A and B are shown apart, each in its own frame.
Chain A
Amino acid sequence: MASIVGEVDNTMQDPRRRAPLVTGQHDAASITRSVASIAEIPVDQTPLGWYVGFGISATITAILGFAVFWLLFNGVGVWGVNNPAGWGFAIINFVFWVGIGHAGTLISAILFLFRQHWRTAINRFAEAMTIFAVICAGLFPGIHIGRVWLAFYLFPIPNQMAMWPNFRSPLLWDVFAVGTYFTVSLLFWYVGLIPDLATLRDRATNKWRKLIYGALAMGWTGSMRHWHRYERAYLILAALATPLVLSVHSVVSFDFAIAQLPGWHTTIFPPYFVAGAIFSGFGMVVTLAVPARQWCGLKHIITLRHLENMNKVILATGSMVGYAYAMEFFIAWYSGNSYEQFAFINRAMGPYAWAYWTMVSCNVISPQLFWFKAIRTSVPAMFIVSIFVNIGMWFERFVIVITSLTQDFLPSSWDYYTPTAFDWLTLLGSFGLFFTLFLLFCRFLPMVAIAEVKAIMPGAHGAHGHGHGDEHAEHAPAMEAAR
């Protein structure tokens, strides 16, 4: 495995020169080698660590399978949901996982359109993370309904009853939003993979790899015409995916904002949810990137600077989320609506105050540590903070869903929500599914967009296939300094 050991600090902020985005002495071939070789390890040489990780994840996935089977066999009652709290862990997990996905789309689409070239090192697995997170998310609305076997009623399928779904319901919007999101994300990811799949096909030494990667590469030859089409398609998909970053979580937030429960029915929800989604997504990318670059020898591609940039995003979005928390309280007071006021005071001081303060500590306080460069660039520190962010964002959804539902309008209907073992197993299991998919991805697909990274290497020249069109002339002189 070709890799450069040892970390190079490329996090300097010197306006006179650009920081390198790939460190060490690398050329196109070594980049290809370092990324592709991970996917090319023969089966019998698979590192033990992968087996251990995959074994654990797959076991947890099996637990998920059991938990879902038990749920479908017995009914939603195996969960802790009850009369005031019609939604529980399933919806919390759904929103959590959808939010995770957002970082991937933001990195791959928005940063692409904004020509943030540092994205190339992390976009592939961030996108993969998106796909897997959306798969995990998509599981929950499916299984949380009372009659899973009739889930197709949610789709506008023409039928003999001439019954359409209710287009006024935010849950229906959710179906469309998440469905669109998954489709576009998958296409975007796959299109981006094609050149690299062709690379793997070309490097393959065994028949099966050749066949499978060959089929997946869809006859890519790297011709000028292919590159041209590819670039256009990628740009269009990026443009399509960009609004989704904002819209999907806005629609998810409508599930709450359109309802009229105190604490749900607020106009701040769409921007607040989007900021929270990006926040949690970047938290998860850091959580995944830190071990991945370590174990897969990709430190020269996913450099400290990449991590620092992500930490900056975490700091920014974390502050936005903190602002939103404060603004919710302000508006509740300012509205003069006693139900609204109670909902928020109760969050901070009521029976679920522990969840609220967990959320605030993790989401508002912990990212503020990133104001310090020493912490921002310390790999262990950022890993810990990113874990806190993941926990905090899960609790944010818990606080929103549970506190509002358990104590709404009539004091007579207030009741406590206690999750059952099956709630916890399903949550745990969703992580198992996520990591199983992620480990498979790490093992069999190029974790970094090889073709794109080559374009931003310090030594890259205009002659490489993957340019950015009109940008070429403009940046040509600065090319050697890396953008």
Chain B
Amino acid sequence: MPSLIDESAGKTYWRSLEHRADSPEFRAFVEREFPGIVDQLNFHTSRRNFMKVMGASLALAGAAGCRWPREEIVPLARRPENRIPGEAAYYATTIERDGVGLGAVVTSYEGRPIKIEGSPEHSYSLGASDGLMQAEILTMYDPDRSGLPRHRGKASSWEEFRAALSGAHGRVAVLTTPTCVEALGGADRLKSVDLYFWAPADGNADNGLRDAGGNAVRPLLNFRNAKVIAAFDSDFLGAHPAAIRHARDFAANRGPEGMSRLYAIEGHYSLTGANADHRYAERPSAVATRLAQLAHALAEKGAALPAGLKSSEGAAQPAYMEKMADDLFHAGSHALVVVGPAQPPAAHAIAAAINKALGAEGETVSYIASPLAKGKSISDLAKRLDAGEVETLLIIGSNPAYDAPADLKLAEGIKKAKHTFHVGLFADETAQVCEWHAPLAHALETWAVYRAWDGRLCVSQPLIAPLFNGVTAAEAISIATGTAEATAYKIARDVLGSAAKLGSGDAFEGAWRKAVHDGVVREAAPAADVALDSTNWGALLGGLKEQKSGFELVFPPDSKVYDGRYANNGWLQELPDPLTKITWDNAALISPADARELKVGRDDLVTIEHAGAKITAPVYVMPGQARGTVSVALGYGRTFVGPVGAGVGVNVYPLRTSTALGFGVGANVTRASGGHELVTTQDHQAIDTAVGRAEAAHRVEELLVETPVAAFLAGKKGAEHATEADEHSENGGDHGGAEHHVALQLFAEHEYDGHAWAMAIDLTKCNGCSACVIACQAENNIPVVGKGEVKRGREMQWLRIDRYFKGQPEDADVAIRFQPLPCMHCENAPCEQVCPVAATVHDAEGLNVMVYNRCVGTRYCLNNCPYKVRRFNWFYNHHGPRHPRNHGVGPTYASQIQLTDLEKMANNPAVTVRSRGVMEKCTFCVQRINHAKILAKNEAVQHGTAYEIPDGEITTACAQACPAEAIVFGDMNDHESRVYGQFHGGRAYSLLDHHLNTKPRTRYLKKLTNPKDGAGEHKPAHA
């Protein structure tokens, strides 16, 4: 360490002795913490730079796009047209995940994007979104993103990086996530590179059919037409690139008007399994055999299956097969058999053959040619790397050093290439093994052209100048191919112009502007043929081996961090997994019977061995998990990641080989010593006693009312004849006629002349995906509190999704039910009465409002809320002491108020950021209500028309995000509104109302199920 009194250090002001001494350690520290300022060592300069970037984005965002592709900075001397300071602007753009463009509409305030919604124009978003998409906003503002190019880990510059990459020798091998030609800058650019694709959680079944001997086609599933669906190890509602569209279509067929039936055959309990009418737990290796048996059973009934399939005979056929086959056969063209990507090509081929034989092709499933660019697999790359054939390797947006199949040993292979370049959002594991690293621009910062699931072209436009000076994938390839002067904007224009044939000159300009405005260009790609005629069925079927013993290891992509790329996203890490409710961790999910045999319980550690490697993971005992199956979600245990994702969970990639990407057989699970506490938001261990479990099981029946659809329809018919008196009760007569009584109440009822807001949540449609939770978090500036606080029971999400198991834990057919729980906005709100300072009160439109300024934090309202939907700020939560970003920074108090400018930018300016000691809760997105009211009032005054807010004009963040349209928000005083209709549709019920007379404004629509032989099986709980 240099001497502290060395004058040449020349620092008059210093922050620490290390700073004063300017030691290499300190330089390394600063470089790590604040890349790019290592030579300035002065925070104010950085701030100025930051302001410059902001000013630039502000200035440029107002024009036709959001950012003109000009490089100079112009002050806003005059207010651009259509630009009102403080008013949000909305721009269509596209967010891509593993080659699938999801249409988005982004809300931007003053050039600052703050919220992502699905684009209604986009056929695979339909205005809805998923949790990952919502959380992209937080990733974009992540201060841990890579900020500057590095050479061998040391700070470098863009000039040096460009020089090195453009001067690369030989053909450049490019490894990236699967994507279309357009996203990579067009076919011309790709001519001079070798393209390899890798995505660990690739939900595309594109390759399944190709590998079975067919064409590389992508099945497009149409659940709107499907009456009977059999999902074989397919999580089409959860981990599927088109899950949003699937959820919408599937939900459209779930209601009293029409009800499809879903069979799920799977080992790992998936979101789709949780929504099935019949779920059968099978080992993953048995699934394809079951499918072959199904084909056989269908053939026997007369389905025109290929001859090779008819002869298939397997082991003893399970009892349910006949029932399912019968159901599918009778559904005919409305049947649909779906197979998940983890299954072997044979399974995909059989499913395609069944769908064709039943006449479903064209009806419930259609095919398009795969819209992805032609890239080779990562195994091919590994082979070439090992052979020393790759001189220059460029990795874009992919993290193979962490997530590549273990047997390929890619981290070592990369080092064999002479020159390696990594372009990524983060300086991650792969950046560590590459010679060069440069920041990638985030989807919201760039111009790009992608393709949607159905092959449509989508345009991505920047909402802000790249915060970390990143480049796009196409720009990176341009540098590598020597066309570096091309900017992302120009590339996007060129590739869209040629791909969509937009013409030239003015015609092009008009078409381009329209494409940018809409975010989407044209209709889907033309249908393609599966071409399975030449399939060798005998060989395919012969390859299926059903394992009977030993453990099978399933690698589901995580519902939150996906394949690990969202590991540094606090919203997602803190989101409870829809099925296990685990936060900040992954776990080894095993069945209760296996747990009993292994003598392990929740939080005990087990050692899992597979393919010559082993890991140790905490156990979560998952009812409904197939026996002999252990699932460990991908994406955890990252080593080079920001502080949020550091040390979270277990990395399962070392057990995953290129031949067992979906699941691995022959795994060995043994008990290990010690334990690791899994933190869940429900079913806390310590409170879990026999008395409580028995009571909970009994209580759930009345909290989450469900009934088979046949019984419901029969009951409804009866009720219509019996009573019509209920109609008058504003409370809906929800408790089923007979026991209807008027409860006495102490205080006068509120009356509403204007609006009377209400929300209906359809438990039949809700599939538990949790997009609403993240949407709410993004909209309402809800803080992340960290694992320690969640463990204490202090999670802050305003909206939670309660998950209940139905049936005995060891039953094979244990079912899962979901119940989203926002604030009920009770008419007789228990919270309002007990607040001593009147900080929570009823407003004139029925909302139970929270006055943050007035709240002193007695928490009496929280105690008295029977739904426990209130959330208290135990600390300065926006950078609470247990937030991972505060770990190891110092004493708890010192870091409470440290929130970087970047982190602050992600906040919604329309919503107060709550301070310490204040209660908060769901507001029904009151800021959206008031925004719409102000607009409507202005409109009425300006045009002299009547003040009116049409139904659907206002929607809450949760309802807007919901892919299944399970949440409906509206005005009860408007008798034409959807919510009014739902309240009076015979299915609405209020939670706990008959006990407490709380009169909630949020009501549930009974969960309907459609079991095959379940009509009238048991009486509905409340009829």
B-binding residues in A (CB < 8 A): 73-77, 80-87, 144-148, 150-151, 153-154, 163-166, 168-172, 175, 255, 258-261, 337-339, 342, 345-346, 349-351, 405-416, 418
Contact = CB atoms under 8 A, between A and B. Distances in A.
A346 B792 contact: no
Interface string B906-922: 00000000001111000
27 contacts: A73-B893, A75-B876, A75-B917, A76-B857, A76-B872, A83-B794, A87-B859, A87-B860, A144-B858, A145-B856, A146-B917, A146-B919, A147-B917, A151-B856, A154-B856, A163-B838, A166-B835, A169-B833, A171-B860, A261-B864, A346-B692, A350-B691, A412-B682, A412-B802, A413-B867, A416-B685, A418-B792
A372 B996 CA distance: 47
Nearest to B917: A146
Interface centre among A165, A255, A415 (most CB of B within 10 A): A415
A81 B821 contact: no
Contacts of B872: 76, 83, 86, 146
Interface in B801-843: 802-804, 819, 821, 830, 833-838
A260 B692 contact: no
Contacts of A345: 691
Contact of B834 (A80, A83, A258): A258
A74 B881 contact: yes
Given A154-B856, A166-B835, A87 B691 contact: no
A145 to B, nearest CB: 5
Contact of B873 (A144, A146, A418): A146
A259 B859 CA distance: 12
Nearest to A151: B856
Interface of B: 682, 684-692, 695-696, 698-700, 703, 789, 792-795, 800, 802-804, 819, 821, 830, 833-838, 854-860, 862-864, 866-868, 871-876, 880-881, 892-893, 896, 916-919, 991-992, 995-996
Given A82-B793, A410-B703, A349 B691 contact: yes
B866 A260 contact: yes
Contacts of B792: 80, 82, 418
A73 B893 CA distance: 7
A350 B834 contact: no
A83 B871 contact: yes
Contact of B856 (A81, A147, A170, A338): A147
Contacts of A351: 686-689, 692
A145 B919 CA distance: 11
Interface centre among B682, B856, B871 (most CB of A within 10 A): B856
Q: Which 4 A-B pairs have the closest CB atoms?
A: A146-B857, A146-B917, A77-B874, A86-B859
A155 to B, nearest CB: 10
Given A75-B917, A82-B794, A164 B838 contact: yes
A223 to B, nearest CB: 47
B833 A83 contact: no
A74 B789 CA distance: 14
A275 to B, nearest CB: 24
B835 A414 contact: no
Interface centre among A75, A150, A416 (most CB of B within 10 A): A75
Interface centre among B682, B868, B871, B995 (most CB of A within 10 A): B868
A409 B699 CA distance: 9
Contacts, number: 190
A216 B272 CA distance: 79
Contacts of B855: 146-147
B893 A416 contact: no
A141 to B, nearest CB: 8
A342 B690 CA distance: 12
A164 B918 CA distance: 19
B834 A407 contact: no
Nearest to B698: A338
Contacts of A418: 686, 792
A83 B917 contact: no
A87 B857 CA distance: 11
Contact of B866 (A146, A166, A410): A410
A154 B836 contact: yes
B854 to A, nearest CB: 7
A169 B834 contact: yes
Contacts of A153: 837, 854, 856
A187 B494 CA distance: 89
Contacts of A409: 866-868, 992, 995
Contact of A146 (B685, B692, B830, B916): B916
Contacts of B863: 86-87, 259, 261, 405
A77 B873 CA distance: 8
A412 B821 contact: yes
B871 to A, nearest CB: 7
Nearest to B746: A168
Given A166-B835, A349-B689, A75 B874 contact: yes
Contact of B836 (A172, A261, A407, A414): A172
A410 B858 CA distance: 22
Contacts of A154: 836-837, 856
A75 B689 contact: no
Given A146-B919, A165-B837, A171-B860, A414 B692 contact: yes
Contact of B687 (A170, A260, A414): A414
Contacts of A349: 689-691
Contacts of B881: 74, 77
Given A345-B691, A346-B695, A411 B684 contact: no
Given A153-B856, A412-B802, A171 B875 contact: no
A377 to B, nearest CB: 43
Given A83-B794, A147-B857, A258-B834, 17 more contacts: A76-B917, A81-B859, A83-B871, A86-B862, A87-B860, A146-B872, A147-B918, A153-B856, A154-B856, A165-B837, A169-B833, A338-B698, A346-B691, A410-B703, A412-B804, A416-B684, A416-B686
A410 to B, nearest CB: 6
A137 B141 CA distance: 47
A154 B837 CA distance: 6
A150 B858 CA distance: 11
Nearest to B859: A86
B1004 to A, nearest CB: 13
B856 A414 contact: no
Contacts of B837: 153-154, 165-166
Contact of A145 (B689, B690, B896, B917): B917
A139 to B, nearest CB: 15
A166 B856 CA distance: 13
A110 B863 CA distance: 35
A169 B867 CA distance: 19
A84 B868 contact: yes
Given A259-B863, A350-B689, A165 B857 contact: no
B996 A260 contact: yes
Given A147-B918, A166-B836, A346-B691, A74 B893 contact: yes
A175 B858 CA distance: 12
B654 to A, nearest CB: 35
Contacts of A164: 838
B834 A410 contact: no
A171 B691 contact: no
Contacts of B794: 77, 82-83
A418 B677 CA distance: 16
A146 B875 contact: no
Contact of A166 (B699, B838, B871): B838
A349 B692 CA distance: 9
Interface centre among B685, B793, B794, B834 (most CB of A within 10 A): B793
Interface centre among B819, B837, B871 (most CB of A within 10 A): B837
A137 to B, nearest CB: 16
A169 B835 CA distance: 6
A75 B919 CA distance: 13
A416 B677 CA distance: 15
Nearest to A347: B691
Interface centre among A81, A350, A413 (most CB of B within 10 A): A413
